[in-house]
Structure 1
């Protein structure tokens, strides 16, 4: 992967919030793989093989008169992106028990020390959705549980569930680079009970899970919730994020159709992470 070329979009966003969050969500829907939030806006990356000149033409926030968004484009090699990521990635703390950091950061005195090197994968804990999903994990008992992490990205959620005692975890992502990166991070954190798989809900067949985590965009969730429910044990828990507060009625309606009940919500900057029970 060392010769992989990525297209970098440097966005300057005014006002910064919620403009940057909206932009990240909409870019993710058209194939952008990784984001770095800056003091002025967002750095966004997409594999050159998946890129088209007009790829951002349909991004609605760019046409929204409430925001002023400027951008420039450049090509960047994987190794250069890694250096840029290191210069922008600071460790984060989730609650009083957990930190998410890079290998080059000093080890903290925390109960759960998650070490992540995301490269081109999504999921460092910095984005509100990942942060809230980590909060949900910290707030629940995972000892002996079977866990599914859909859209696992870096594997950060799966890794924390393993640290909290989950019996087995399947971490699934449709993106090849994400599965490679998650495998590296799983090994880095010595989590032997995590199985990293490349694919989508078609992989969900015979295995049953006590807990399912899915931090994916709204449209994918709406299509895949029935598949999640088909492999969720009775009295199981489903945690969903990757969407806004105003999307909850659509998500909850789909969950109700398949027998799930709303139980808890976390909210941060209009992003939400919602718990449903079977």
Structure 2
């Protein structure tokens, strides 16, 4: 599987926006840099017309400059060690790579060696989902993580006491990486599946359903999410902007859910629904 590499220099405030836009047209791996972002897409999935449209739309306002080529063979552990810093959510959660020192006086420590997978906690959507998780009881609960990426949300559920966890992603990099991260966090009995929710057909019902993907996929798959929810179950959604909340709320309420909470960070949003 060959990957194309795009080194995008841009204004800092547009880095996450470009990552979100590119993720919707097939890009599945990103590396934030001091100058912007390096974006990667499987060569056979690359849509030149869609890519040029995104770049053209933000070219002037984001001051974009671009170089492209095929991804060289690199040591990804070394690359992440250069760019990846630990993150904290107060004294509750500390997310670090194995090459970072542990931190004392924190309730939950999560080990993530992200390689090329998405979902390290640095992106606002992952941070928001983790924050929502801290406010909901997971003890003895069942949970499914849809579009799991590095597996960080499933790992958080494990740390919070969930006893049955399923996770899956459409990308082979994520599946391999997620399983490694599960082992790092003492989750040898959880194995990440490969495919979409309709292909994987997770064995519900669940107490907690989580999906951090993008607006279009969430709207398309939401009926499936609801079918996997127990009575009084909660649905966590992210991967979209604050102005997208009404569209997702309308769809969720039409399926018998009601809004329980929302959080916003850097214009990104995460929302929680509960089944009536």
TM-score by length of 1: 0.92
Greater mean alpha carbon deviation, residues 58-67 or residues 114-123: 58-67
Task: Select the residue among 8, 13, 22 that pairs with 2:10.
Answer: 13
Q: What CA distance in whole angstroms lies between the structure 2 residues aligned with 1:100 and 1:78?
A: 27
Q: Over the residues paired in the alignment, what is the CA RMSD in angstroms? A: 1.8
- Provide closer, same or farther for how the CA distance between residues 264 and 168 of structure 1 changes in structure 2, counting only shifts above 3 A: same
5 Å matches for 1:237-248? 237-248=234-245
- Provide closer, same or farther for how the CA distance between residues 116 and 125 of structure 1 changes in structure 2, counting only shifts above 3 A: same
Q: What CA distance in whole angstroms lies between the structure 1 residues aligned with 2:35 and 2:27?
A: 19
Partner of 2:153: 157
Matched residue SS, 1:134: helix
Count of residues in correspondence between the two structures:
273
Q: What CA distance in whole angstroms lies between the structure 1 residues aligned with 2:94 and 2:77?
A: 21
Shift of 1:227: 0.2
Task: Select the residue among 247, 251, 255 that pairs with 1:250.
Answer: 247
Structure 1, residues 46-93: CA drift from partner, whole Å, max 9, x if none? Answer: 233433555511316644643321111133335344422221001111
Q: What CA distance in whole angstroms lies between the structure 1 residues aligned with 2:165 and 2:259?
A: 24
Shift of 1:206: 4.5
Q: What CA distance in whole angstroms lies between the structure 1 residues aligned with 2:108 and 2:34?
A: 29
Partner of 1:75: 70
Matched residue SS, 1:96: coil
Partner of 1:274: 271
Task: Select the residue among 164, 167, 171 that pairs with 1:171.
Answer: 167
Partner of 1:196: 192
Q: What CA distance in whole angstroms lies between the structure 1 residues aligned with 2:224 and 2:128?
A: 23
Structure 1, residues 145-187: CA drift from partner, whole Å, max 9, x if none? Answer: 1001000001011001001100111011111221111111101
Task: Select the residue among 11, 28, 31 that pairs with 1:36.
Answer: 31
Q: What CA distance in whole angstroms lies between the structure 2 residues aligned with 1:223 and 1:240?
A: 13
Partner of 1:48: 43
Structure 1, residues 169-223: CA drift from partner, whole Å, max 9, x if none? Answer: 1011111221111111101111145341112121336421000110001000000
5 Å matches for 1:48-197? 48-51=43-46, 54=49, 56-59=51-54, 62-63=57-58, 65-109=60-104, 110-197=106-193
Give structure 2 stretches of 5+ with no counterpart.
none
Q: What CA distance in whole angstroms lies between the structure 1 residues aligned with 2:147 and 2:159?
A: 19
Q: What CA distance in whole angstroms lies between the structure 2 residues aligned with 1:205 and 1:103?
A: 30
Q: Does the Cα contact within 8 Å between 1:162 and 1:193 map onto a contact in 2?
A: no
